[in-house]
Amino acid sequence: MKTKSTSTRAGLLAGGNWIIDQVKLIDVYPTPEKLANIVSEHQGTGGAPYNVLIDLAKLGVDFPLIAAGLVGKDPLGEHILEDCRQHKIDARQLHTTTEVPTSYTDVMTEVKGGRRTFFHNRGANALWDGKGLDFTRIKARIFHLGYLLLLNALDAPDKKYGTKAAGLLAAAQAAGLKTCVDVVSEDSDRFAKIVTPALKHSDYCILNEIEAGKTTGFRVRQPDGTLDPVSLRHAAGAMLQLGVRELVIIHFPEGGFARTRRGEDFWQPSLNLPAKAVAGTAGAGDAFCAGALLGLHEGWDLARCLQTAVCAAAASLSDPTCTGGIKPLKATLELARKYRFRPPLERSE
């Protein structure tokens, strides 16, 4: 599948959650009223637009990167704005407020295996509604919005579009941008109500297997935790039926899968990383998304997009923060030669 656009637009506009992650590496996740030891602490990026834009900047892309959202007028908000300046990300659409603080998350990461638990303060992200974004003046090629289910104002109902987020995506499409959505992994029954309306106004949907299953009702993992390729394919197909215009990409620890509107399927196993190469799994999904969006922006075939995506995810795993492990594109792709891909994923019906 070729995605090269003849549009004069260029660049990625990313809006949604801007979060500071306070990552604490712990020896074990405790049961209630028990103690765990904090081994080390790290501060890093969090949220779909923040992670994806920093990842793309560190990969070394040569197209414009544009931030949109809301942060508090406080030290954490200033840190985010300074981070954007240092990485040459256009932050004119990233506004500040004195009403609430910048969003933050305490991320508890187990040293052994990198399993994470999140304690989140929505902060300023809960107020951002996308108003003021003039898509006719912002000349980006792709608008990436995330995370649905974690943006109070945009998750709110809308009489015409179903949700405010769906209306924002529709406005971007009407102006000529390609739109892409991502979702937060939430244990709830809100997916159909909030995610489904947005799919009707999305050209691309990039999310993990848990979110795909929650959105469509398919159980993509068997009781023993094994990935169910048939259900995964059905989930991707169901999202296309729900309205995604061009492409659904689902990522998971074993790799990635893409299905196009034309019914083409692409499987890509992840890298065969040894346990000692995994410092933490926070941000791996957004790194995968950044690699995929890089390829989609540049018009690469989907096989190349997915290979880049899994390599970016592997690079992310080398650091406990979401973006600290990302390397320039050449070094990121060389990880495939160092570690090799896992065996091919099952493709049978």
In this structure, CATH architecture of domain 12-339 = 3-Layer(aba) Sandwich (3.40)
pLDDT at residue 144 in the model:
98
Distance CA 228, CA 232 (A): 6
Torsion, CA 57, CA 63, CA 69, CA 72, rounded to 10 = 40
pLDDT at residue 279 in the model:
87
Q: Does the structure show a pLDDT above 70 at 347?
A: no
Q: How many residues does the chain have?
A: 349
Handedness of CA 332, 334, 336, 339 (dihedral sign): negative
Mean predicted confidence (pLDDT) in 89-93: 98
C-alpha to C-alpha distances, 255 to 62, 252, 302, nearest whole angstrom: 27, 5, 14
Q: Can you read off the two tokens belonging to residue 4?
A: 């090269």
Please choose, from the candidates 86, 97, 83, 74, the residue with its C-alpha nearest in 3D space to the C-alpha of residue 47.
Answer: 83
What is the maximal distance between C-alpha atoms in the chain? 59
Q: Give the pLDDT confidence of 51-82 residue by residue, as tens digits.
A: 999 999 999 999 999 999 999 999 999 999 99
C-alpha to C-alpha distances, 11 to 65, 66, 90, 287, nearest whole angstrom: 6, 8, 11, 17
Tell me how far apart the terminal alpha carbons of the chain are, to the nearest angstrom.
22
List CB contacts of 160: < 8 A, sequence separation 6 or more: 167
Model-level pTM?
A: 0.93
What percent of the chain has pLDDT above 90? 89
Q: Give the pLDDT confidence of 122-150 residue by residue, as tens digits.
A: 999 999 999 999 999 999 999 999 999 99
List CB contacts of 308: < 8 A, sequence separation 6 or more: 291, 292, 294, 295, 300, 329, 332, 333
pLDDT at residue 345 in the model:
77
Q: Can you read off the two tokens belonging to residue 73?
A: 């007028």
Q: Does the structure show a pLDDT above 60 at 4?
A: no
Q: Of 69-83, 190-204, 274-288, 304-318, which range is least confident?
A: 274-288
pLDDT interval class at 113 (50, 70, 90): confident
Beta strand pairing status for 162-163 and 157-158? antiparallel
